[in-house]
Structure 1
Amino acid sequence: MTDLGTPVLDDHLHLDADNRGIDAVEDFVHLGGTHLLVVNKPSWHHGVEADAGADFRPVFEETIRLVEEASEVLPGQAWPVLGVHPGLISRLVDDRGFSAEEAGELMRAGIDVAAEYASDGRAVALKSGRPHYDVSDAVWEASNEVIRHACTRAAETGVALQLHTEATEDLTDVAEWAEDAGLPPERVVKHYASGELDGVTKSVMCEKDYLETAVEVGEPFLMETDFVDDADRPGAVMGPKTVPRRVRWLQEQGHDDVIRVAHVETPEAVYGIDTRATLDE
């Protein structure tokens, strides 16, 4: 087992008990990984076709169960990120005949249930977003209303908000919505980010060129793989070993300060988690 001498956090990955599950966590640990933020898989991946907010509960419960198992394996700890995948709106509108407004209402209800877990201390962040592909104006606006609602619920429950959005280097619109809701924009995280982003905190996909850009820009950031734990897509989006490998690569270039920002300072500022104090407690 590798010890990189620092906390190593993957800010966004998924676990599935029917696929690699805890074996993926063990791979992460073997290369030097210590902490995880585990995001619930999209509800339909669990066979859930929601009609009410409460229908998301089994998805969240399964994620929390996997987080508890992961924490037993990790030198540090895992935490849940719970919410509603923004792609659900297209399934509801295109496949199930919902209007965009009806779909948005159901998704906001799912966020409300996730916020119950956050208010109990069982999640460190909510998840929301908007489609990363072309959609109608009605679906786009309904999705933005879901984000605004998620900002409000994150502010009320005192947690962060992870977003899945279109590829962009400018989320100042979302930063304004967060401020209006009383949520500090730095506690909003764009997952699957490149090395530059205005408005909110970036969770940088571990492509070397993205990381090089993030180092040059010098702003707070996190590192992630978006590992999806799907037997049909092994290693997608990036495998669980990638973050520790990239931390070693950054160490070899003398970027210890950058590693501290990404794996200690930014996690504390965004999520209120202490990756040092939770290491081998």
Structure 2
Amino acid sequence: MSEDLGTPVLDNHLHLDPDHGRGIEAVKDFARSGGTHLLVVNKPSWLLGVEPETGEEFRPVFETTLDVVSRANEVLDGRAWPVLGVHPGLISKLVDDRGYAPEEARDLMRAGLDLAAEYVADGERVEPGEALALKTGRPHYDTTDAVREASNEVLRHGLGLGADNDCAVQLHTEASDDLTDIARWAEDAGLDPERVVKHYAGGELAGPTPSVMSEKDRLEVAVERGDPFLMETDFVDDPDRPGTVMGPRTVPRRVRWMQEEGYDDAVRNVHVETPKRVYGVNTQETFDS
């Protein structure tokens, strides 16, 4: 029997691997704990056994995610949406392991993002086989100047695609509480920085909207600030990496804790108001239906 928390409960960033991980079983755990909505981000291409040489060859990565999202929608009281893109760590795989020049890696990754953008829904209603948002970023670890520059060019291309397709863009970047440089790039591209989401964020962030890792100390900081924010687990769904990040039950459990602490306004901020502002989705409507 599922726990009813009386509110939509959205995990803004997790992965599902129906072939190598727990897949729909993880969704069932989320739902039984009171979770209602998911943003499912495709796993890095190499973790799905895909070694693309062209943009088109990213398609199996995206199709895998679309398929598992469709199955998740049969389980959830709310719904799931896909987020598609190219993991920024791919540039190191290409340069260090496959001998690509940074510029060649940049071009391949931009082509992968172009393909991801073809899946983005045209308008607010996301139909099966469509994506809600894009994902891009830059490595969170030290790299050469050439790789860093190429990665920033990929990131800026992703922001431009977000503007062109009127969709949000999730970011995988270095840990930081100040990403105003990326917010400026978004503005330059014609994308509202509020629609740029920093995945794996702390409770305080200048620039994009933070998607806060669901640890109590980070959440308390975000609640006290009172700004728009989201919550996530970054569940990786990899049996070879148990406990790497947070399990699928975490967000609903943290919502219960927030309710017990009297943070009801923050719960609505995270799970109703901010998803509407950032992604244009009405979690309350899909929850009630």
Q: TM-score range by the shorter chain?
A: over 0.9
Query: What residue in structure 1 maps to residue 56 of structure 2?
Result: 54
Query: What residue in structure 2 maps to residue 7 of structure 1?
Result: 8
Query: What residue in structure 2 maps to residue 96 of structure 1?
Result: 98
Deviation at 1:181, TM superposition (A): 0.6
TM-score by length of 1: 0.99
**Contact 2:121/2:132 (CA < 8 Å) preserved in 1?**
no
Counterpart CA distance in 1 for 2:242 and 2:183 is 35
Counterpart CA distance in 1 for 2:241 and 2:209 is 28
**Contact 1:178/1:184 (CA < 8 Å) preserved in 2?**
yes
Query: What residue in structure 1 maps to residue 24 of structure 2?
Result: 22
AA matched with 2:3: T
Which of residues 157, 163, 167 in structure 2 aligns to 1:159?
A: 167
Counterpart CA distance in 1 for 2:225 and 2:259 is 18
Query: What residue in structure 2 maps to residue 140 of structure 1?
Result: 148
User: SS at 1:279's partner residue?
Assistant: helix
Query: What residue in structure 1 maps to residue 218 of structure 2?
Result: 210
Which of residues 113, 116, 132 in structure 2 aligns to 1:114?
A: 116
Query: What residue in structure 1 maps to residue 76 of structure 2?
Result: 74
Counterpart CA distance in 1 for 2:265 and 2:216 is 17
Count matched residues.
281
Deviation at 1:280, TM superposition (A): 4.7
**Contact 1:89/1:143 (CA < 8 Å) preserved in 2?**
yes
Counterpart CA distance in 2 for 1:203 and 1:255 is 17
Counterpart CA distance in 2 for 1:156 and 1:114 is 13
Deviation at 1:2, TM superposition (A): 0.4
Counterpart CA distance in 2 for 1:215 and 1:22 is 31
Q: Percent identity?
A: 69
Counterpart CA distance in 2 for 1:17 and 1:115 is 23
Counterpart CA distance in 2 for 1:226 and 1:161 is 16
Which of residues 179, 201, 209 in structure 1 aligns to 2:209?
A: 201
Q: Which runs of 4+ in 1 moved over 4 A?
A: none
AA matched with 2:109: M
Residue by residue over 1:114-148, the C-alpha shift from the partner in whole angstroms, topping out at 9 and shown as x without a partner, is 00001555111100000000000000010000111
Deviation at 1:46, TM superposition (A): 1.1
AA matched with 1:94: D
Counterpart CA distance in 1 for 2:86 and 2:288 is 32
Query: What residue in structure 1 maps to residue 46 of structure 2?
Result: 44
Query: What residue in structure 2 maps to residue 173 of structure 1?
Result: 181
AA matched with 1:214: A
User: SS at 1:32's partner residue?
Assistant: coil
Which of residues 62, 65, 78 in structure 2 aligns to 1:63?
A: 65
Counterpart CA distance in 1 for 2:143 and 2:244 is 25
AA matched with 1:49: E
Residue by residue over 1:217-274, the C-alpha shift from the partner in whole angstroms, topping out at 9 and shown as x without a partner, is 1110000000000011124310000000000000001111000000000001001111
**Alignment partner of 1:125 is 2:133:** yes
Over the aligned positions, Cα root-mean-square deviation in angstroms equals 0.8
TM-score by length of 2: 0.96
Residue by residue over 1:138-174, the C-alpha shift from the partner in whole angstroms, topping out at 9 and shown as x without a partner, is 0001000011100110111111000000000011000
Query: What residue in structure 1 maps to residue 270 of structure 2?
Result: 262
Unaligned runs of 5+ in 1: none
Unaligned runs of 5+ in 2: none
Deviation at 1:216, TM superposition (A): 1.2
Counterpart CA distance in 2 for 1:256 and 1:216 is 13
